[in-house]
Amino acid sequence: MGHKNTKLSKKNVKKIMRETRFTKKEVLDWYRCFLLDCPTGKLSRSELVKIYDALFPNGDHSTFTEAVFRACDINNDEHICFYEFITTMSVMARGTLNERLQWVCQIFDTDCDGTISRDELEELIFTIVAITGGKVCRETACERAEAIWIKRADDEIDGIPVTVLTKIIMSARKTLIQSE
């Protein structure tokens, strides 16, 4: 959307406004900034890595960056177009806490089965700490994953549904923050 021309069509602006929480002015401002960073109208994996390098200079964001890229590249064409970018930004900037947590959890549902397995949960915890430059060993990530796993809603499932995990994280986040 928009990469062949330097201007978004009115139709595309309206579509984006309907599907996001951005105003017309905000959509056009985001588009202008997107084109400054991505003159081709596409964000490549390597360009996303550079952005995360600037945001998290002391952290290991490689796993997270790859997961974000996969989640944003909706059509799997190995690029993030403006539409894919702006719909993600809408969730991250204007979404409810529940929507944002659900999006983060979905990027770690690597087998796309709608649930977070124990291994995916451990990777989620390990990655989030690593991004910020925090020191966490696999054992600690495993212990935190186990604490969340025990609180899951249905012991008969093989994984935690993304929506259930979101609720668990929301209810436990004060405890997790206080224990840091």
The span from the CA of 18 to the CA of 34, in Å, is 20
Domain membership of residue 154 (yes or no) is yes
Domain membership of residue 2 (yes or no) is no
Q: Give the DSSP letter string of 84-101.
A: HHHHHHHHHHHS-HHHHH
Q: Please indicate, yes or no, whether residues 80 and 124 belong to a single structural domain of this protein.
A: no
Q: How many domains does the chain have?
A: 2
Q: Please indicate, yes or no, whether residues 29 and 88 belong to a single structural domain of this protein.
A: yes
pLDDT score at 80: 96
Whether 136 and 130 have beta carbons less than 8 Å apart is answered as yes
Percentage of the chain exceeding pLDDT 70: 73
Q: Please indicate, yes or no, whether residues 118 and 175 belong to a single structural domain of this protein.
A: yes
Domain membership of residue 4 (yes or no) is no
Question: Is 143 a residue whose pLDDT tops 70?
Answer: yes
Q: Give the domain range for residue 72.
A: 10-94
Q: Please indicate, yes or no, whether residues 14 and 90 belong to a single structural domain of this protein.
A: yes
Domain membership of residue 5 (yes or no) is no
Whether 99 and 139 have beta carbons less than 8 Å apart is answered as no
User: How confident is the model over 144-168, as pLDDT tens digits?
Assistant: 777 766 665 454 445 656 666 666 5
Q: Which of 55, 70, 94 is the last residue of a domain?
A: 94
Q: Please indicate, yes or no, whether residues 19 and 78 belong to a single structural domain of this protein.
A: yes
Q: Which of 67, 94, 121 is the last residue of a domain?
A: 94
Q: Please indicate, yes or no, whether residues 74 and 106 belong to a single structural domain of this protein.
A: no
Whether 93 and 124 have beta carbons less than 8 Å apart is answered as no
What does pTM read for this prediction? 0.70
pLDDT score at 175: 47
Q: Please indicate, yes or no, whether residues 75 and 125 belong to a single structural domain of this protein.
A: no
Q: Which of 65, 94, 123 is the last residue of a domain?
A: 94
Q: Please indicate, yes or no, whether residues 81 and 101 belong to a single structural domain of this protein.
A: no
Q: pLDDT grade, residue 29 (50/70/90)?
A: very high
CB within 8 A of 27, min separation 6: which ones? 8, 13, 16, 17, 20, 86
- Whose tokens are 């600690």? That residue is 140
User: How confident is the model over 37-89, as pLDDT tens digits?
Assistant: 899 999 999 999 998 899 888 888 888 888 889 889 989 999 999 999 999 99
Q: Please indicate, yes or no, whether residues 89 and 122 belong to a single structural domain of this protein.
A: no
Q: Token digits for 176?
A: 């997790």
CATH, residue 120: 1.10.238.10
